[in-house]
A and B are shown apart, each in its own frame.
Chain A
Amino acid sequence: MYKILLCLRYLRTRYIALASIISVMLGVATMIVVNSVMAGFSNEMRDRLHGFLADIVVEARSMDGIVDARRQMALVEDAAGEYIYAMTPVVEVPGMITYKDPITRETLTQPVTLVGIDPVGKSNVGPLRSCLDSYNPVLEGGVVVREALRGADEVLGWELTQTAAEYRKWRVEEDRQLLREEGLISPLEDPAGTPTTAPSEQPIPVPDFDDGPIEAPTELVESGAPGVDEAPDLNDVFNDRPAAQRDPSEPFAARVYLGEQITSYQTRDPKTGAISKVSFVHPGDDIILTTVQAATPPQPISINATVVDIFRSGMSEYDGNLVLMNIEQLQEQRGMIAEDGDAITSIQIKLHDYADAEIVEQKLKAAFPPGLVSVKTWEEKQGLLLSAVEVETAILNVLLFMIIAVAGFGILAIFFMIVVEKTRDIGILKSLGASSGGVMSIFLSYGLGLGIVGSAAGVGIGLLFVRYINEIEDVLSMLTGRKVFDQEVYLFKEIPTQTNISMVFWVALGAIAIAVLASVMPARRASRLHPVRALRYE
């Protein structure tokens, strides 16, 4: 009884103990906040990675793909049909994108991954609609600045939105105006689609492409004038088509959803710190895609394509790399269409329950001839990234636990001081018949008390912080006049958090254990004090 009474009294009257409580509290709170935010981020990241990859991907080992999508999918269906919710064929090849800076009119080329999809099928295996610009309102600082351009129930397809079509018309007109001003076409040579430039025997130098609209080379090609750099390739591209005159405001047959970060970048105003996005390509613009044909040796091909939409998954791995294209066009251009069935490079599969992934993976591996395809879950495909995040979290936890360990050493030092200060009281207690164990347990329970109070306060503060983290961020942003968490940078609307009850429990328990461990040494010292020497201690 006296142990508890004295322990409580010491807790209440020793203000120095408050220092240990605060250090334990801060350690616990930091660990909870950091873990929650890390878990939130990694969860969000997993969601996004997962979303775009589907649950399981069956991939051909060769870029040339495997023939007959329908037969392969039937094979998958036979092997593990009961687990599968949906699947879609995909053609995935590396390529390049060439687009034009609308201001300087320079052409820019970048490496990308071309992914041929069927939008409806793709949306069945993962979220697509929520990533496309035209289906979602545009927000700026939490205010809707543009409503969604398409209704949520509109079927996914490759049609331009009204806005994009109008933009395209305007763009074509602008380009023509520019050409006219530069004397490259005479006003009489209008309207659309007429060969605009020099005769074929006089190749147009590179800058001319730069100055012309992207359609221009195509038109040249269509009229059989290999006038520009890209002309030979483009010639190939459109060789198998009737060289009909086409309306430049009419989009190309190849349509793409363009990853947001491929053709845009962010700038930060050095004065205000505000971040703004600069986009080179908008829906309705044309681009050139370059890739290789499915043949040996692979022949480079270039494809004229019209951007239908911009997609934004939130993962820069995807947004800065993927160009989603209508699969039949990609197959056609790459020569993957054959009589015995169109070739594909992979099949994306969504399961009813991701828990079955391993079984399905095994079944599919067995179903396909060895060496032909690789079957991977999305986690295996993104294994490096995911394990990097895990390692990061683990290291962070170790470092943060050090903070609590430091708090433990603080407790140790403070307790030694308190034991010295209480030496005479220890003598008194012993003279009244208190055992050494009893004296020891006063200080052990004192440590326990400190740990419990510190942990409880830390858990409380940590959870409150996590709960109101976005409000706190708002206040901090207001005070500093600069966005602390800029959603433009992180691509999150708000700071994602996920609090794991067992994590909170272990953190609190760990902190309490450290507080008790730190008090063992001082408590033993107290219990070993000789009563007479303790009583004489001044």
Chain B
Amino acid sequence: MRNEILTMNTPLISAQAIEKSYAKGQMKVPVLRGAGLTAQRGELVSVIGQSGSGKSTLLHVMGLLDSPDNGEVMLDGRRIDNLSPAARDQLRNHVFGFIFQFYHLLPELTLLENVMAPLMIRHSFLGFWRQRKQVRTQAQEILQQVGLDHRMKHRPSELSGGEMQRGAIARALIAKPEILLADEPTGNLDASTGREIMDTLIRLNEDSKLTIVMVTHDEAVAQQAHRIVRLAEGRIATLGHEEAA
């Protein structure tokens, strides 16, 4: 099955020869020096590297949170990194789902509202009002899937780390994204909770054929992916399928 996926021609997303540097005072600090990454539909790719190797930046560039200085990001064969801000906002809302190391739930909203947030952003006030019941049911179902149906009315500050991360996954899923971009999803969790989160992600990948690009520095976590991309100093160090190798 994995082989079938690997042999598909057009990758769902690909970042090619990305260069990106940040200005630090007078100095220009290069972060990405021609790194690239592709992911086929339904693939689970992990990006591994030391701190400062540029793996998070690569993820941000792919998810249109940041623009590359050089290089291209293609979605389904179409270039997306040079689109207008409005179109980029739309893509972030419709196509990408983000999961962060520090969960990044909005502290003023309840878990249920946090999960509904992407759809609130997508729809206008009236549009949302018309389908609010439907959205609510949808959010409740997703929270049930990740096992948080008893926590819906709680604020993020009242949840544990694992619960918050599962809440964040639920938030990423409600928008029905094509690609899930996870930035160190287990980085802030203890080993057993981290394993639970990974199980959830793998299950999503297997059951819903969700394409996942995951950044981590944890070798054990990275090993669970179909393919591992190693980054060092902004360049690809090893490209290959270590599990298969």
Contacts and interface: CB of A to CB of B under 8 A. Distances in A.
Given A431-B63, A436-B85, A2 B120 contact: yes
Interface residues of B, number: 34
Contacts of A435: 85-86, 89
Q: For chain B, what secondary structure do more than half of its interface residues adopt (helix, strand, loop), or is it mixed?
A: helix
14 contacts: A1-B121, A5-B109, A6-B109, A9-B108, A424-B104, A428-B105, A428-B106, A429-B121, A430-B92, A433-B94, A433-B175, A434-B121, A532-B60, A532-B66
Given A13-B108, A532-B65, A5 B120 contact: yes
Q: For chain A, what secondary structure do more than half of its interface residues adopt (helix, strand, loop), or is it mixed?
A: helix
A438 B91 CA distance: 16
Interface in B46-68: 57, 60, 63, 65-66
B67 to A, nearest CB: 10
A434 B89 contact: yes
A5 B116 CA distance: 11
Given A431-B65, A433-B121, A425 B106 contact: yes
Interface stretch (B124-132, B146-154, B195-203): B124-132
A428 B85 CA distance: 16
B125 A4 contact: yes
Contact of B104 (A6, A9, A10, A428): A428
A6 B121 CA distance: 11
Contacts of A1: 120-121, 123-125, 128-129
Given A1-B129, A425-B107, 7 more contacts: A6-B106, A13-B108, A429-B106, A431-B65, A433-B89, A433-B122, A532-B60
Interface in A408-445: 424-425, 427-436, 438
Interface residues of A, number: 25
A65 to B, nearest CB: 77
Contacts of B113: 5
B90 interface: yes
Contact of B121 (A4, A425, A432, A530): A432
A430 B57 CA distance: 16
Nearest to A8: B108
A34 interface: no
A434 B64 CA distance: 13
Can you list the 9 inter-chain pairs with the closest CB atoms, starting with the nearest? Answer: A433-B93, A2-B120, A9-B108, A1-B128, A1-B120, A433-B92, A435-B89, A428-B104, A531-B65
A406 interface: no
A1 B113 CA distance: 11
A535 B100 contact: yes
A140 B93 CA distance: 76
